[in-house]
Structure 1
Amino acid sequence: MIRLVIADDHPVVRAGLVGLLSDEPGFEVVGEAADGEQAVRVAAATSPDVVLMDLRMPGVDGVEATSRIAAEGTAKVLILTTYESDDQILAAIEAGASGYLLKAAPQDEILAGIRSVAEGQTALSPQVAVRLVERMRQPATAPTQVLSAREVDVLRLVARGRSNKQVAADLGIGESTVKTHLLRTFEKLGVADRTRAVTLAMEKGLLD
């Protein structure tokens, strides 16, 4: 029996998944979550085999929730979303997701993906697999703009798991200033979130 937690902020989508998986032999839905923070709490409380995780949710998003659940090591995370941009795919995989499927995928593909992830394998939709291969074939390029010393300081602390409030206290600056530095960093690196900013900066040798 594969124990599942379903995290999606759309009640209709979540209910549909619960109904589908509850009726499928070999699956048991042990929890639901409407946002990333709740997904982390429910996963900790129920110890599922797999968490089906949407990406865009209020508050803590799917990437951050995936990172926190993966760090605990109590469950595998399978992204199930409508979004498939390169940065979103890479951010999710780098956060620790074991698979990335699209909600538009056939039912059999979703069920097979859950089984694969539960068994410790990887599950990627064909579209996502192609995007990842294409991305890996692209030659590495330097960011179009160099980060300022302060932006590097902020990103280095973010890489250590510090929140915006903690970064502000560490550097003696306002929390709004931290947010401004991060937004400028995202723009310079061409990314959309903290996780991808840190990983890309490390890849480019911008962080120690």
Structure 2
Amino acid sequence: MSGGAPASIDVLVVDDHPMFRLGVRTRLSAEPDIVVVGEAETGARALELVERTAPDVVLVDLNLPDTDGVELIRALGVVAPRAAPLVLTMLSADAVTAAVRAGARGYLLKDAEPGRIVAAVRAVAAGDSVFGPQTAARLLGSLDRTGPDRTAFPGLTERELEILGLLAEGLDNSTIGRRMGLRPKTVRNYVSNVIGKLQAADRAEAVLRARRAGLGDTGSDLRPTRSPIEPGR
């Protein structure tokens, strides 16, 4: 895609809501230079179609039934490095840093005007990056911030580090899910993975180690209270 956008931009739409996919396909297909080459409702299906259709742009929702959209973006960077991931989600910009670090070239909310979505597809296909003003400000703030010592946890992925940081802030699984736009089961899986990788005895020990490394609220009680609706991990 060097030297500008391709003459015809092939787009793959990844979202688990059929009506939303239909609306996006209809709008994009009305453009003479855009072709929707496929639709996927899951991350696994998206990877299958990417190998078959070699799209220029992949529209990705971060909340998929079988995987975290950030993980899908990371996988796209391996199997289809020429494809430009463009996040289109109902979630807030809280997850923008993880999505960008995974390889997203743009980040828009689903309620963006259809014309903006079309323009964003063309922009990322041409090699540009597209972010709304609020998203850009949040991203710049996160990159400029001198954060805690995350090198203390080299075995964790970027997403797992985010989860650990939210645990260290004292947030329960439900709040973490709302903050990051993840399903409850996905959050539980992440928490279990983090505890396992840290070889911590339980959630409380993982939080304690995270706070000692500078994550979360180091000034609060280091014995977090477990939510009554979240027995165990």
TM-score, normalised to structure 2, is 0.63
Cα distance change on mapping 1:26 and 1:186 into 2, 3 Å: farther
Give the letter aligned to residue 89 of structure 2.
T
Q: 1:135 aligns with which of 137, 142, 152?
A: 142
Residues 1:36 and 1:186: Cα distance change in structure 2 (over 3 Å): farther
Aligned to 2:229: none
Q: State yes or no: 1:121 paired with 2:128.
A: yes
1:52 to 2:59 alignment: yes
Q: Deviations over 1:167-187 (max 9, x none)?
A: xxxxxxxx9995361594589
1:79 aligns with 2:106: no
Give the letter for the 1:63 counterpart.
Answer: V
Tell me the amino acid that sits aligned with residue 179 of structure 1.
N
> Secondary structure, in 3 states, of the residue corresponding to 1:58?
coil
Does the 8 A contact of 2:62 with 2:69 survive in 1? yes
Q: 1:181 aligns to what? A: 195
Deviates more, 1:176-185 or 1:61-70: 176-185
CA contact (8 A) 1:55 1:81 kept: yes
1:104 paired residue number: 111
**Structure 1 unaligned runs (5+)?**
160-174, 191-208
> Tell me, what secondary structure is at the counterpart of 1:59?
coil
In the alignment, the residues of structure 1 paired with residue 90 and residue 191 of structure 2 have an alpha-carbon distance, to the nearest angstrom, of: 33
What is the letter of the counterpart of residue 50 of structure 1?
A: V
Tell me, yes or no, if the aligned pair for 1:105 and 1:125 is still in contact at 8 Å. Answer: no
Distance apart, 1:36 and its partner CA: 1.2
CA distance in 2, matches of 1:85, 1:7: 19
8 Å contact 1:70–1:97 — kept in the other structure?
Answer: no
Match of 2:185 in 1: none
Moved more, 105-114 or 4-13: 105-114
- Deviation digits for residues 10-62 of structure 1, max 9, x if unmatched? 11111111111111221100010001111111111100000000000111221
Which of 18, 43, 47 matches 1:11?
Answer: 18
The alpha-carbon distance between structure 1 residues 179 and 19, as it changes in their structure 2 partners (threshold 3 A), is same
Provide the identity percentage: 37
Q: 2:97 touches 2:142 (CA, 8 Å); kept in 1? A: no
Structure 2 unaligned segments of length 5 or more: list them: 1-7, 158-188, 197-201, 217-233
Report the CA distance between 1:110 and its aligned residue: 1.1
Corresponding position: 1:38 with 2:45: yes
CA distance in 2, matches of 1:60, 1:115: 27
One-letter amino acid of the structure 2 residue matched with residue 70 of structure 1: G
Structure-1-length-normalised TM-score = 0.70
Residue 28 of structure 2 is aligned to residue 21 of structure 1? yes
